[in-house]
Structure 1
Amino acid sequence: MIKAVILDDEVRGSMLLQYKLAEYSDLIQVDAVFNDAVEALEKIPQMHIDVLFLDVEMPIFNGFELLERLGQFDFEVIFVTAYNIYTLDALKANALDYLLKPVDPLELKKAVDKLIKQTGVKERLKKVDLQEIKVNAIRIALPTAEGIHLVKRKEILRIEAMSNYSVFFLTNLSKIIVSKTLKEFEQQLDHSNFLRINRSIIVNLDYIVKYKKGDGGQVEMVDGTEIEVSSSKKAQLIEKLFST
């Protein structure tokens, strides 16, 4: 059963959406309906939900600001709004879908189909214990919506945080976006030749070609990328780079 929450400051709007979702009651369970963004911000982190049906324009703070205040979250977001000017913002927020009010039943069905597919993928990935994948000790498993990429560690240039995702930059100049936080990969790569040199980037030390002095300093990667080093990581980086 997919667990859902509705947030819409208009009571009528939230009731109408809940009524339309009742058609999918064998698949979707609406656990809560909020008409106040502040209350939703307080209670949603304590709930285990799969999807948030979210209005955009609300008093105090809007839907996008709510997501920013939530910080890390692992549920899908479907925007439901009377305005069509936020589609690009919704895309940047990695929303699963964007529905215009009044919600068309056919568009809602398409969104539900996407939701079913996406939550199914997530459930399958949850069953995969990445620590048990023993294809090759020098590989790392990267779960995406399409499947699990098995990447050799030596093929990773760097990993960058992007909201609740991590972006892997590879030596063949391709990128893989994974719905896991940088912290999780930092722990997984803790005993290998990788180091988190600032709040949002982990680098492969083998591909640093230059260190530039400064407060924390700066490293230049083999692909020409220059990355600032936080002052708290400077000593650890220098020790790893120049220790004999």
Structure 2
Amino acid sequence: MIKAVILDDEPRGSRLMEQKLKLFSDEIIIEAVYNLPQTALAEITKVQPDVLFLDVEMPVLNGFQFLERLSEFDFEIIFTTAYNSYILDALRISAVDYLLKPIEEDELRDAIRRLKKRMATKANMPKTPAKTKSISKNKIALPTAEGIHLIEKSQITRIEALSNYSTFILTDKKKIIVSRTLKEYENMLSSDNFMRVNRSVIVNLEFVLKYKRGDGGVLELMDGSEIDVSPNKKEELLAKIF
């Protein structure tokens, strides 16, 4: 059973989302519903959901600011909003889907299908053991609102740009959002097995499963994600992986 949490500042909106999800009660159980981002920040890690149905436009903290304040999370995101101007930002943090209100049943069904597929892929994803080298060379410090995370570089599958933020996506499903640009980390990781393959994504080449031919091509990673390669990066990439 998939454990779900709803965060929508409008009580009417959260009630409608609850009603729609009850149509899928054989697959999804609603663990909590929040109308205040501040309350969700304090409680969501205790709930340990598989997916968060997240509104974007909210007072005090919008959906993206909420994730940045949370800093580290291992659940999936499905955005539910009346605004279509945040779709690219949603894609850059690897959201499962971006549903525009009023949400149609078929669209919700497709989102749940994608969610189940992603969860299954992650469950079968091999874990990369940490390498035993010096801490200074093998780890990276990620400053967030709640403190500094020391992360093994070998546990980073990719880093994605979100405006002036960077989202680190790890092998254990966790995501860490840091208020620094992708360019800073591109320079920091240039000597490691990382490469910026387009304007928005740095990939750990250890997790590349397949290269698909094309203008720039597409990288398929072990977690099932597909990353477009910029044409001007194609030659450099092929030289590195072959």
TM-score over 0.5 (shorter chain): yes
Number of aligned residue pairs: give it: 155
Structure 1, unpaired ranges of 5+: 132-155, 167-176, 183-196, 206-222, 224-244
Q: 1:154-169 to 2 correspondence within 5 Å?
A: 161-162=159-160, 163-165=167-169
CA–CA separation in structure 2 for the residues paired with 1:70 and 1:10: 21
Once residues 114 and 100 of structure 1 are traced to their aligned partners in structure 2, the CA distance between those partners, rounded to angstroms, is: 16
Quote the offset at 1:60 in angstroms: 0.5
- How far, CA to CA, are the matches of 1:11 and 1:159 in structure 2? 37
> In the alignment, what sits opposite 2:89?
89
* Correspondences of 1:1-244 after superposition (within 5 Å): 1-125=1-125, 128=126, 130=128, 161-162=159-160, 163-165=167-169, 201=189, 203-204=191-192
Letter in 1 for 2:35: N
CA pair 178-75 structure 1, distance change in 2 beyond 3 A = closer
Once the 2 structures are TM-superposed, how far is the Cα of residue 129 of structure 1 from its aligned partner? 5.6
Asked if the contact 1:45–1:70 (Cα under 8 Å) also holds between the matched residues in 2, the reply is no
| RMSD between aligned residues | 3.2
Deviation at 1:179, TM superposition (A): 5.3
User: Match of 1:59, SS?
Assistant: coil
TM-score (norm 2): 0.56
Residues 116/202 of structure 1: CA separation in 2 closer, same or farther (3 Å cut): same
Per the TM alignment, residue 23 of structure 1 is displaced from its structure 2 partner at its CA by 1.2
State the alpha-carbon separation in 2 of the partners of residues 159 and 76 from structure 1.
16
SS at match of 1:57: coil
Pairwise CA distance, 1:111: 0.3
CA distance in 1 between partners of 2:188 and 2:157 (Å): 8
Identify if the C-alpha distance between structure 1 residues 24 and 200 changes in structure 2 by more than 3 Å, giving closer, same or farther: farther
CA contact (8 A) 1:160 1:202 kept: no
**Larger Rg, first or second structure (1 or 2):** 1
CA-to-aligned-CA distance 1:167-223 (integer Å, 9 cap, x gap): xxxxxxxxxx995679xxxxxxxxxxxxxx999637349xxxxxxxxxxxxxxxxx7
Code of the aligned partner of 1:122: K
Gaps spanning 5+ residues in structure 2: where? 130-153, 161-166, 177-184, 194-235, 237-242
- CA distance in 2: counterparts of 1:27 and 1:159, whole angstroms: 29
Question: Counterpart amino acid of 1:165?
Answer: I
Give aligned-pair identity as a percent: 46
Query: Partner amino acid for 1:87?
Result: I
Q: Could you tell me how far apart the structure 2 residues matched to 1:89 and 1:106 are?
A: 23
**Residue identity in the other structure for 2:83:** Y
SS at match of 2:38: helix
Q: Is the 2:75–2:173 Cα contact (8 Å) retained in structure 1?
A: no
TM-score (norm 1): 0.56
CA contact (8 A) 2:82 2:102 kept: yes
